[in-house]
C-alpha cells in the first residue's frame, strides 16, 4: 500500500502542476520561477512525441510503448511487493512509476505531454522537463545506486584479515 501511495502522490503532484501551467495563457511563458533567481524558468510546452519531439509523427507508438513498459514495470513491482526486504528496489520502482504514470496519462488523454520547467545551467537550458521526468530519473538513479552498492559489496571479501585475527583472540 505504501508504494501505491508513493506512485499516486508523485503522479498527482506532477499532474496538478501541469493543470496549473495549462490554465495560464501561453503568452505568459517563459517566466522565472519565483525564488530561484532566474535559475529555473517556467514554460508551457506540449510535446506530442518522446523527448525532443522524437517520433511525434507516430502517435500510436508514442502512446503504446510507454504503456507496455509501465505495465511491465508495474507487474515487476507487484511480483516483488510480497517479498521481504528489497525496500530500496521497491521504492525506486515506485518513484519511476510515479513519474511515468503522469506522463502516460498525458499521452493517453491529452495526446501530448506537458513540460514546464528548464534549469538554466549549461546544456540543460535547452531542455524543458516536468516533475514526472525528474521522478523517472531519480527512481532510475536509486535503482542504479542500489545495484552498484550491491555489486561493490559482492566484490569485497566477506572477512578481512583483521576480522579473522579477531576471531582467534
What separation in angstroms does the CA of 140 have from each of 102, 133, 135, 149? 16, 11, 8, 14
Is residue 166 one of the residues assigned to a domain? no
Is residue 154 one of the residues assigned to a domain? no
Burial of 153 (0-12, 13-18, 19+ CB in 10 A): exposed
The 10s digit of each residue's pLDDT in 67-104 is: 999 999 999 999 999 999 999 999 999 999 999 999 99
Query: Is residue 164 predicted with pLDDT exceeding 80?
Result: no
Q: What pLDDT was estimated at residue 72?
A: 97
Strand partners, 46: 114
Is residue 37 one of the residues assigned to a domain? yes
Task: With beta carbons less than 8 A apart as the criterion, state whether 21 and 31 touch.
Answer: no
Q: What pLDDT was estimated at residue 97?
A: 99
C-alpha 106/C-alpha 15 separation (Å) is: 8
Q: What is the mean pLDDT of residues 49-66?
A: 79
pTM here is: 0.86
Q: Which helix (H) or strand (E) holds 124?
A: none
pLDDT band of 162, cuts 50, 70, 90? low
pLDDT band of 130, cuts 50, 70, 90? very high
C-alpha 20/C-alpha 116 separation (Å) is: 10
Tell me the residue range of the domain where 132 lies. Answer: 2-149
Is residue 79 one of the residues assigned to a domain? yes
- Report helix, strand or coil for 48: coil
pLDDT band of 59, cuts 50, 70, 90? confident
Q: What pLDDT was estimated at residue 1?
A: 86
Q: What pLDDT was estimated at residue 154?
A: 83
Is residue 53 one of the residues assigned to a domain? yes
Query: Is residue 168 predicted with pLDDT exceeding 60?
Result: no
Give me the number of domains the chain comprises: 1
What is the residue-averaged pLDDT of the chain?
Answer: 91
Is residue 159 one of the residues assigned to a domain? no
Is residue 155 one of the residues assigned to a domain? no
Is residue 162 one of the residues assigned to a domain? no
Q: What pLDDT was estimated at residue 14?
A: 98
Amino acid at each position: 500500500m505504501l508504494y501505491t501511495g508513493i506512485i499516486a502522490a508523485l503522479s498527482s503532484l506532477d499532474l496538478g502542476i501541469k493543470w496549473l501551467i495549462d490554465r495560464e495563457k501561453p503568452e505568459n511563458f517563459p517566466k522565472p520561477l519565483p525564488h530561484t533567481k532566474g535559475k529555473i524558468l517556467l514554460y508551457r510546452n506540449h510535446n506530442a512525441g518522446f523527448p525532443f519531439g522524437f517520433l511525434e509523427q507516430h502517435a500510436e507508438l508514442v502512446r503504446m510503448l510507454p504503456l507496455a513498459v509501465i505495465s511491465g514495470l508495474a507487474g515487476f513491482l507487484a511480483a516483488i511487493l510480497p517479498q521481504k526486504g528489497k525496500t530500496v528496489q521497491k521504492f525506486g520502482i515506485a518513484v519511476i512509476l510515479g513519474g511515468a504514470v503522469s506522463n502516460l496519462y498525458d499521452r493517453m488523454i491529452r495526446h501530448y505531454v506537458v513540460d514546464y520547467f528548464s534549469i538554466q545551467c549549461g546544456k540543460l537550458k535547452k531542455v524543458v522537463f516536468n516533475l514526472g521526468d525528474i521522478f523517472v530519473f531519480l527512481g532510475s538513479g536509486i535503482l542504479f545506486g542500489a545495484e552498484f552498492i550491491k555489486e561493490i559489496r559482492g566484490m569485497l571479501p566477506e572477512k578481512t584479515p583483521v576480522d579473522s585475527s579477531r576471531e582467534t583472540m
